Amino acid sequence: MANLRRLRESNDALDDPEEIRRRVADDGYVFIRGLQDRDKLLSLRHDVMTVMMDGGWLVNGTNVMDGIAELSTRCTEGDGEYTDVYHRVYSLESFHRSGHWPEVMEMMEKVIGGEVLPHPQKIMRLWYPKYTDHTTPIHQDYVHFQGSYDTYTCWAPIGDCPIELGALAIVPGSHKIDAVMDHHFSLGAGALAIHENELEGQWHSADFEVGDSLIFHSLVVHQALPNLTEDRMRISLDNRYQSVDIPISEKMLIPHLSNLSSYDWDRVYADWKTDDLKYYWREYDLEVMARIDRWGAQGFEEALELARVGDAGAQHHLKRMIRRVPESPEAERAREALELKV
């Protein structure tokens, strides 16, 4: 990305919670080098890559820690073959425990200024190289996890992540609009994107090392940079946090991508060795908000219109939906749109 600026590091403010909150208010983020324990992250990387190797996503016979992608198995969120392996990763107890590590919780308490609730719906991103059309597009997180604006993502790669591997990029200060921008259909995780010509501001990113963490507000405009490597998988954590005293969306209380297959918390927990994190959020008297469907519904309508005039991305998206839920009303409309393409 041309003219990409470097993220401001905030390690100098680690012992000053008021300064941390001031920077979050001004910039919408704090970037902390080495926040998360390197050894714990590398252990998690081994767990995740082992599942991916067993699922055929890595080149057989290579070191799992290297993450050498088997390009013939490329897939992404929305594909059935992606969900199959992803939910095996998602069931790892070590993955869910990462969202509760003390060093992360202590940092989030500084950011939020009070008792913190880690969202039950943790997210891990597993991205193939040479699949740039499916890179996570420009967006604000609020359209996806909803609830309250003052919710934060802690993004961290599970392994070193230089810019060319697909680091995260943000527009500092973009949260100050204090509103959700227009989002439109797009390929990539979430299937919604802000058009770049509607943006103001400069993109910032960095070469991340394992342990580095980027914490940002739900209205901060951001995107994943494309994985431009020849053969390396990019994996990262998207853990979300908020005060226990503000509303949370009902959709953040269910496993990620459980809408794409039969998958619930009992399946997540089936092989866990401990019980302390199972249904932990039920200990709180949470105000739960209904899911808002308008952004997803608008994106679907746009995909239909684009498919009718031959847009390849929209057609791919609709064909994938038909394979996933062939008997649904949405699949029927998708079939009609594909038949009308010119």
Burial 150-174 (b: 16+ CB within 10 A, else e): ebbbbbbbbbebbbebbbbbbbbbb
CATH class label, 5-290: mainly beta
pLDDT score of 262: 82
Q: CB–CB of 52/234 below 8 Å?
A: no
- Considering only the C-alpha atoms of the chain, give the largest distance between any 2 of them, rounded to a whole number of Å: 61
* Sequential pLDDT tens for the chain (342 residues): 668 999 999 999 999 999 999 999 999 999 999 999 999 999 999 999 999 999 999 999 999 999 999 999 999 998 989 999 999 999 999 999 999 999 999 999 999 999 999 999 999 999 999 899 999 999 999 999 999 999 999 999 999 999 999 999 999 999 999 999 999 999 999 999 999 988 989 999 999 999 999 999 999 999 999 999 999 999 999 999 999 999 999 999 999 999 877 899 999 999 999 999 999 999 999 999 999 999 999 999 999 999 999 999 999 999 999 998 899 999 999 999 998 654
Instruction: Show the tokens assigned to 73.
Output: 């198995």
> Where are the chain's structural domains?
5-290, 293-342
Return the residue matching tokens 């390690």: 11
pLDDT score of 159: 97
| Cα-Cα-Cα-Cα dihedral sign, residues 189, 194, 195, 200 | negative
In this prediction the pTM is: 0.95
